[in-house]
Amino acid sequence: MTKNHSETATQGAMKGLEDMSGFGKANIEAAMAASQTLVKGIEQMNRAWSEFTMRLVEAHMNSVQALFGCKNLKDVVELQADFAKKQLEAAMVESSKLSELTLKVANEAIQPLSVRVSEAMNTAVKAA
């Protein structure tokens, strides 16, 4: 009878260790998936910022060229006001796009971790 209890306890301990090992492995996999998603998202955001910056530089260069064609102060003021308005509008649009992209990346990156937390909670509830 003691031998039977000993074997049962050993089997239970081994099962517990296997479960803990599997749980840890799944946590690492979730963290890796989240990291990969985050890296890809950051690359997307960097590309978006670079493209926006290039458009700003191009618009600025075009504005400078147009300034050389101005014949009086009124033309300069109108050109600068138009340039400022267009750049502000572009910045607002781009800011909105980048905010949406950032939120999308954050939600996608947190998803694998969120799943692991839910699974851990379910496991804890079942164990209790």
Pure H helices in 1-128: 2-68, 73-127
From 96, 87, 1, select the one nearest 48 (Cα to Cα).
96
To which residue do tokens 């191009």 refer? 58
Maximum CA extent, the chain? 106
From 63, 57, 58, 50, select the one nearest 94 (Cα to Cα).
50
From 30, 31, 24, 12, select the one nearest 127 (Cα to Cα).
12
| pLDDT, average across residues 84-103 | 93
The structure's pTM equals 0.67
Give, in degrees to the nearest 5, the angle at Cα 90 between 64 and 86: 45
**83 band by pLDDT with thresholds 50, 70 and 90:** very high
> What's the CATH number of domain 2-127, 1.10.12, 3.30.160, 3.40.50, 1.10.287?
1.10.287
Total count of residues recorded for the chain:
128
Least confident residue range of 33-37, 51-55, 122-126: 122-126
